[in-house]
Structure 1
């Protein structure tokens, strides 16, 4: 599942005017995917039917890091609240021996930014995500899925804004998700994604390609509850381009970790909550986040 992250394009303009001249990883230092969104049961595709999920998050970004990981001396505080409903249809169709599913996500976003004495608030729809996947269950404990997501630039965007609800470019993202699930004992989940960004037509800027992974590792207590840790790993793999000119040293990276807890039952209900702190940040904003995932079977 993808949903848009904060777009800080206007911050780049502001910082340049102040003479600091950072090099961002991806345009504005954000991504179409909000890192660390996924958690428990990410690789488990349920039986055919319709399912409703809700993802909620509160991200607090309080520092900017350059390409060496040093903090950029600039008053910076951005809060992003997101509620992202997701509709999933697991079909009866088998393709390549996998169960075919379709899904769509349309996030509702609220941004509150205070940067170098300037403030902005924005609320509205973010970037629409549609996708499909194939689910497999090779054993009672091992489950995995392959997917492809497409993010459309439906969120509000203005080039001069400090922050934006949308990224203003298309993104294609193949994904692989894997879950090791048992009623008691060690459980593990990961979702590996590779984002391919297209050009922002308003700025003629093309963000580099991105490799990222959400993960969770926990211990199941034999009563539906699992407690452990979760977070994400992120590495930009290619440099950005502005007007076909490569921007060297523009690759970003980061990882996050924090406590995680989840509960599920046999009817398909699932809720997970985690808090994660960013570390090792390069060319991006740094902060922490609370992530909630709720799955409700129809």
Structure 2
């Protein structure tokens, strides 16, 4: 059997899609990547990758994602967090997140719908070389917090036409996670947000070639604890990969994050504070059997560059998509 025939007979991307097309765990509110107030956006850059727009398979799926981020900024860059201004910031975070997802059998406007709710638990440690507060100046300030994240509902609708797949989504932030405006380290953003956008996936099952891209916009409500309102953010997540066999996939992934409008509110003492960042890195995926169904695991790393008004570093994603059945 030729490799192309094996791919066509054995590789079933639709079996994975219930996890992958809704893999966005909406954990941007975890305070890991820095932009906007305190350098923290809602959108979790890099959450979408390969097969992002492939329609989901009807039934229940459980995406589980481990995540680690580490980044820093020089002492010449200042960040606002509550009533403090900090410089020389370094932030690290390990997290575990889940998003139970359901895809109904009934089609909607000819597309496959999927509904999910993301949440997680983790730790954030943030250190500042200098932190200026109303009470004075503190050197070497360090905060660590452990707890739950905000809640992230997400809904998507996807269509397939041969090798072409399209998807639209809407998600948001319900701010119930671990947050205190007096801390440097948080696992929530302290305000509500809504994000919507669309994506495209090219997938040729015979050749195993794949390309995906997801573009979206974030609208933020004001943080009432700090009287600070983040501007409108734009983001692009992308990935290109090749299935080497019915099981193994390799490729590259990346993201671009760019703030379109400046921050506002009486608490925005640093002004518009518009931010940006880009990243790129390797991706490896593996398809395997679990309970008679097809499961998928994916590991990818991102190395950031082009940062402004946020820390710059690296991130690692480790994802397991578990099919739960009808």
1:86-144 Cα distance to aligned partner (Å, 9 max, x none): 111001222222122211100212112232212221111111001211121111x2222
- Following TM superposition, by how much is the alpha carbon of 1:243 offset from its aligned partner in structure 2, in angstroms? 2.4
2:251 matched to 1:228? yes
The residue that corresponds to 1:282 in the other structure is 308
> Residue 99 of structure 2: which of 86, 101, 109 is its match?
86
Give the TM-score normalised by the residue count of structure 1.
Answer: 0.86
Is the Cα–Cα contact under 8 Å of residues 57 and 290 in structure 1 kept in the other structure? yes
Matches of 1:159 and 1:248, distance apart in 2: 18
Is the Cα–Cα contact under 8 Å of residues 195 and 210 in structure 1 kept in the other structure? yes
The correspondence of residues 93-132 of structure 1 with structure 2, limited to 5 A, is 93-116=106-129, 117-132=140-155
The residue that corresponds to 2:196 in the other structure is 174
* Runs of 4+ deviating beyond 4 Å: 64-67, 244-249
| Unpaired stretches in structure 1, ≥5 consecutive residues | 9-23, 68-72
Is the Cα–Cα contact under 8 Å of residues 215 and 232 in structure 1 kept in the other structure? yes
Matches of 2:29 and 2:70, distance apart in 1: 12
> Residue 168 of structure 2: which of 139, 142, 146 is its match?
146
Matches of 1:57 and 1:156, distance apart in 2: 17
Matches of 1:66 and 1:249, distance apart in 2: 14
CA-based RMSD of the aligned residues comes to 2.3
Matches of 1:213 and 1:235, distance apart in 2: 9
Matches of 2:236 and 2:268, distance apart in 1: 29
The residue that corresponds to 1:37 in the other structure is 47
Gap change, CA 1:60 and 1:77, over 3 Å in 2? same
Please identify, of 282-291 and 94-103, the stretch whose mean Cα deviation from structure 2 is larger. 94-103
Larger radius of gyration: 2
Q: Report the number of matched residues.
A: 277
Q: Equivalent residue of 2:217, what SS?
A: strand
> Residue 155 of structure 1: which of 177, 180, 191 is its match?
177
Gap change, CA 1:162 and 1:246, over 3 Å in 2? closer
- Following TM superposition, by how much is the alpha carbon of 1:36 offset from its aligned partner in structure 2, in angstroms? 0.9
Q: Equivalent residue of 1:28, what SS?
A: helix
1:193-225 Cα distance to aligned partner (Å, 9 max, x none): 211111101111110111101111122213222
| Unpaired stretches in structure 2, ≥5 consecutive residues | 1-23, 79-85, 130-139
The residue that corresponds to 1:76 in the other structure is 89
Matches of 2:113 and 2:282, distance apart in 1: 33
Is the Cα–Cα contact under 8 Å of residues 129 and 151 in structure 1 kept in the other structure? yes
The residue that corresponds to 1:216 in the other structure is 239
Give the TM-score normalised by the residue count of structure 2.
Answer: 0.79
> Residue 49 of structure 1: which of 52, 59, 63 is its match?
59
